Amino acid sequence: MAKPISELMNTLSTADQASVEAKVAEMVTALRLAKLRKQLGFTQAQVAGAMHIKQPTVAELEKRADIQLSTLRQYLHVLGANLEISATLPDGSRIKLTS
């Protein structure tokens, strides 16, 4: 019988747990960016051309868990989207940080 992931994670060292969590974050980011790109009907090659980079670089961007805001903004702009960042304060209110 399969064990819950939490049980398996508890058998790992703290360093290995951090490594697994980082890889999961990369995979989630890749799925979100690639899914958005595909939903909007773009190929990696089209995005690469518009960003003046090579297609493998777009593939790498989509896999990264940590991406520069300027790069993410440019990637989204190619797709016709805008990047919005906000901070949620302890009282639950939100402040927009980018224009």
- Quick one: angle between helices 69-78 and 44-51, nearest 10? 120
Report residue 14 CA to chain centroid gap. 24
79 phi and psi angles, rounded to 5 deg: -80, -5
Using CA atoms, how far residue 61 sits from 20, 45, 74, in Å, is: 19, 13, 12
Q: What pLDDT digit, counting tens, does each position of 52-82 carry?
A: 999 999 999 988 878 888 998 999 999 999 8
Provide the pLDDT for residue 24: 63
Question: Is the domain defined by 12-96 classed in CATH 2.60.40.1180?
Answer: no
Q: Decide if 86 contacts 95 (C-beta within 8 A).
A: yes
Q: What is the reported pTM?
A: 0.67
Can you give the residue ranges of every domain in the chain? Answer: 12-96
Q: What pLDDT digit, counting tens, does each position of 40-50 carry?
A: 999 999 999 99
Q: Decide if 15 contacts 4 (C-beta within 8 A).
A: no
